[in-house]
Structure 1
Amino acid sequence: MFGEYLKSTSGHVGRVIILCSLIQSAGCTLITVKDTTDYVLSDRSALEKLNYWDFEGRIAVILKDDSWSGSMSWAQSGEQGVIKISGPLGQGGVEIKIKEGYLSINDGENVIDYSDQDEASLVNELGFYVPIRSLVYWVRGLADPDIDYIETDQGFMQSGWQVLFKAMQRTEVGLMPHKVYLTNQAVRLKLIVDQWVINE
């Protein structure tokens, strides 16, 4: 399982190196972080048409009996996207290619196609499940337009997930998420976007 590999490579030395690199990158990143009071879901409808973007950031996953963290990048071009998650110093990792209705997951040894709604297979491959089709919207600060949701002070509830935006950052197309917390009964997932690149 991907989480177990990351955990096995994150010893004391790895943690020190990661901490140093994060401190160094934080000093070089030009981000204006805004308070979450600036997040208003109804003000974000224009971003639904934002189809070409990418970001670099970090991910932390907390499960009932396990937890791990790593670096993450995501490049989206229309309906297709590529998510890359790797452990310390780029060790291990997985690449997820998003296509219409399914995902292609490359764990470094095998490349397997799954339905984007195949929860059991994704849990087996990644160690947890998050609806990738909805996540394409969530990372931009949007609710999935095809699914009912309930708006909250810092985000919304959708598909059994609480989606919270703890901080926002300024970009050329307006405020975009900096810290995103996703929680359901089985998973706590934290995303930190260090830098957005808007290609549209």
Structure 2
Amino acid sequence: MIVGRPGYVTMQQNGDILTAASPEDLILQQLGYELPVSFLEYWIKGLPAPDLPADLTFNELNQLTNLYQLGWSVSYTDPRLYGIIFLPRRVELTRPQNDIRLRFIGLNWDFDSAVNNSRSNPIN
């Protein structure tokens, strides 16, 4: 597990504590791959990372099918109805120049727990 704050992250591996300035730097140091860890929270939801240019592609039902940002292509497939919106059950990230592919398969979106958590922790 990677934990930290902006500008400093740590990970414990085999009793050693590894540190870096960002999750991306830590993964690059340890695995030799550039992975967009900080952007995943946006991309998995079908949102471009803020303040950066992005191209979006939609199908005839106005559902997001592809997001292109920072050299990454994010594909959204197998949309399912959750409440009143369609969300993908499969998200695939690819970066052709490095031949990297990440797949998130069988995603289940749970809005009930998000709503319940917001009710139990009201904003004052």
Coarse TM-score class (shorter-chain normalised): 0.5 to 0.7
Matched, 1:167 2:78: yes
Say whether the 8 Å CA contact 2:90–2:105 is kept in structure 1: yes
**Which runs of structure 2 are paired with 1:13-92 in the superposition (5 Å)?**
none
SS in 2 for 1:195: coil
Q: State whether residues 116 and 131 of structure 1, in contact with CA within 8 Å, keep that contact through their aligned partners in structure 2.
A: no
Aligned CA-pair RMSD: 2.5
Aligned pairs, number: 105
User: Post-superposition shift, 1:136?
Assistant: 1.1
CA separation in 2, counterparts of 1:141 and 1:150? Answer: 12
Preserved contact between residue 168 and residue 178 of structure 1 (Cα < 8 Å): yes
Mapped to 2, the partners of 1:103 and 1:176 lie a distance apart of 31
4+ residue segments displaced more than 6 Å: none
TM-score, normalised with respect to structure 1: 0.44
Provide the C-alpha distance between the structure 1 equivalents of 2:3 and 2:83, rounded to a whole number of angstroms.
26
Distance 2:15 2:70 in 1: 32
Alignment of 1:142 with 2:55, yes or no, is no
TM-score, normalisation: structure 2: 0.66
Contact 2:24–2:36 (8 Å) recurs in 1: no
**1:114 paired residue among 6, 12, 20:** 20
Of structures 1 and 2, the one with the larger relative CO (CA 8 A, separation 6+) is 1
Instruction: Tell me, in whole angstroms, the C-alpha distance in 2 between the residues paired with 1:102 and 1:167.
Output: 37
Structure 1 residue 122: Cα displacement: 1.7
What is the SS of the residue equivalent to 2:78? strand
| Contact 2:2–2:23 (CA under 8 A) maintained in structure 1 | no
* Identical pairs, percent: 26
1:98 and 1:192 map into 2 onto residues whose CA distance is 27
Q: Deviations over 1:28-58 (max 9, x none)?
A: xxxxxxxxxxxxxxxxxxxxxxxxxxxxxxx
Following TM superposition, by how much is the alpha carbon of 1:124 offset from its aligned partner in structure 2, in angstroms?
Answer: 2.9
Name the CA shift for 1:118/1:195 in 2 (closer, same or farther; >3 Å). closer
Structure 2 residues not aligned, in runs of 5+: 59-64, 116-124
Which structure 1 residue ranges, 5 or more long, are not aligned?
A: 1-94
Does residue 130 of structure 1 match 2:43?
no
Structure 2 residue 11 is matched with structure 1 residue 105: yes
